[in-house]
Structure 1
Amino acid sequence: MPADFLQLEGKRIAVFGVANRKSVAWHVVQELGDAGVEVALVVRSPERRESVAKLAGDLPIFVCDVEFPEQIEALAHELSARFERLDGIVHSIAFGDYSEGPKPFHETNKEQFLRALDISCFSLVAISNAFKDLLTPQASVVTVSISTTRMASENYGFMAPVKAALDSSLAFLAKSFSNFSEVRFNAVAPGLLKTSASAGIPGYVDSYLYAERATLRGRAVQTAEVAATVAFLLSPKSSGINAQRLVIDAGMEVNYFDQRLIAGFLGTNSSGA
């Protein structure tokens, strides 16, 4: 197999959402760096830039809080002045305010829901629009979703509908951009991961441990596995994939009735009669 099988060497890609070494975005940066990609990091705040700089070394780091349209536009101008083109964008941005703890979905606060929708979903639309003239005609845009938005996990709450909106937006962005380019829009949709962001979700650890048992291999999905799939979707080798989501859950969705899980459930709930 050739060293540059993915044909990514020399590409320029902006990666949004690096927070720390556990971030999906940081694993993507490492994967792309190994493939010879020129990476530009985009973080949320000047403070975050200082902390990420300790990881990133000489990689350029830009600041953009996607809640503010003027910052997205300013970033587009800043990157245009530095790079004549971008071959891809990685959107690894999500935010959910769980400060009030887990609540029944029908009690979701409107402000919380709309802010999560703005940061986690609409930001992809806004970034794509602001960067449309900087992207090459065959560029690839990849976002990070979740393995399923149809499972009503109480602790994840309003974020699942927000991710469903993100997934739906892929088709509409791909259709819109097809009027003037071949830019592709896809998502990686991982199962439960061990990241700093997930640690803020109430009850996440128990869900993570269950998900690990539910995989066909009995081992949790690794963030590096997600990053490798992102790299594939950014590469010309995935040129026929557009407006899709690739699920990365180690087979969990087909294994909910695994005999080991059932036996464990029956053992826990046995009446002893």
Structure 2
Amino acid sequence: MDFLQLAGKRILVFGVANRKSVAWQTGKVLEQAGAEVIYVVRSEARKESLAKLTAHAPIYVCDVEHQEQIDQLATEISQKFDVIHGLVHSIAFADYSAGWLPFHETPRTAFLQAVDVSCFSLTALSNAFKDLLDPEQGSVVTISISTTRMAAENYGYMAPVKAALDSSICFLAKSFSNFSNVRFNAVCPGLLKTSASAGIPGYVDSYLFAEKATLRKSAVQTSEVADTVAFLLSPRSSGINSQGIVIDAGMGTNYFDKKIVSEDP
């Protein structure tokens, strides 16, 4: 039974890094649901590594820091496909090479690059593919974080960047509503085990704490995020637009769990 009604739907998935990435897990869920997945990665090296994981899906290269590459990608996709039913934006980058710094010392170049890659790229891609997205049932889903209000020192400037991404969802949904029914939503997971998160200073300690704070005492799995992305891409979620769906296993309601509070500092 095709409950999600994704069979035969054509979905662009941006941002696969490896088997641990949200984009890869999402692609697998979509393929299992019968969707046609088109992968887009940022470099030829990523394309080569992804080709080893999938023998049949088409793979394109696009570095979203360069508008000309986005335009070229849209041209290439439009020449081969007449419609795209969904777009997954699982792209984020932060340069932590300067090490941990207090937020007020955030390097300007690092912050602006993070905004460009992690946030503005969603607007740029949506605009580039607006004429290809199914105007009636098209769906765009990005990957945010469970909260941008928790000032985690080691996450630093990426929280404000994700806050801008969350806001962009609202404005894109409103803007596209003037000429289509394309929906824009975000999936907002708690802490995950991904290669991207491994580059965040002190992430492991934060991850272990987050796991204790969940109601089930078990961390959020990347597969759970992928399942939610697939739902938001499907016609089954047609009433959901301009929203952020939090996937944190109840962590946000459990910071004062008595077992956590009573632990020795």
Is the partner of 1:119 in helix, strand or coil?
helix
TM-superposed deviation, 1:82: 1.1
Query: Residue type matched to 2:258 in 1?
Result: Q
Task: Specify the alignment match of 1:45 in structure 2.
Answer: 43
Query: Residue type matched to 2:122 in 1?
Result: L
Query: Residue type matched to 1:28 in 2?
Result: T
Match of 1:23 among 21, 24, 47: 21
Match of 2:131 among 125, 130, 133: 133
TM-superposed deviation, 1:178: 0.5
Q: Over residues 164-200 of structure 1, what are the superposed CA-to-partner deviations in whole Å (9 max), with x where a residue is unaligned?
A: 0000001110111001000000000000000001000
TM-superposed deviation, 1:56: 1.6
Query: Residue type matched to 1:239 in 2?
Result: S
TM-superposed deviation, 1:57: 1.4
Is the partner of 1:186 in helix, strand or coil?
strand
Query: Residue type matched to 1:118 in 2?
Result: D
Distance 1:243 1:106 in 2: 31
Task: Specify the alignment match of 1:113 in structure 2.
Answer: 111
TM-score by length of 2: 0.99
TM-superposed deviation, 1:144: 0.1
Distance 2:81 2:259 in 1: 53
TM-superposed deviation, 1:263: 1.5
Distance 2:156 2:256 in 1: 24
TM-superposed deviation, 1:58: 1.2
Q: Which segments of 5 or more consecutive residues in structure 1 lack a partner in the other structure?
A: none
Distance 1:191 1:48 in 2: 26
Is the partner of 2:85 in helix, strand or coil?
strand
Task: Specify the alignment match of 1:227 in structure 2.
Answer: 226
TM-superposed deviation, 1:120: 0.2
Runs of 4+ in 1 over 2 A off after TM superposition: none
Query: Residue type matched to 2:67 in 1?
Result: P
Query: Residue type matched to 1:84 in 2?
Result: D
Instruction: Give runs of aligned pairs for residues 183-198 of structure 1, distance below 5 A.
Output: 183-198=182-197
Is the partner of 1:90 in helix, strand or coil?
strand
1:153 lines up with 2:163 in the alignment: no
Task: Specify the alignment match of 2:66 in structure 1.
Answer: 68
Distance 2:76 2:37 in 1: 15
Task: Specify the alignment match of 2:248 in structure 1.
Answer: 249
TM-score by length of 1: 0.96
TM-superposed deviation, 1:44: 0.3
Distance 1:106 1:136 in 2: 43
Q: Which segments of 5 or more consecutive residues in structure 2 lack a partner in the other structure?
A: none
Q: Over residues 84-137 of structure 1, what are the superposed CA-to-partner deviations in whole Å (9 max), with x where a residue is unaligned?
A: 100000000000000111110000011000000000000000000000001111
1:215 lines up with 2:214 in the alignment: yes
Q: Over residues 60-89 of structure 1, what are the superposed CA-to-partner deviations in whole Å (9 max), with x where a residue is unaligned?
A: 000000000000000001100111100000
Distance 1:82 1:22 in 2: 29
1:181 lines up with 2:180 in the alignment: yes
Distance 2:55 2:259 in 1: 46
TM-align CA RMSD: 0.5
TM-superposed deviation, 1:214: 0.3
| Alignment: residue pair count | 264
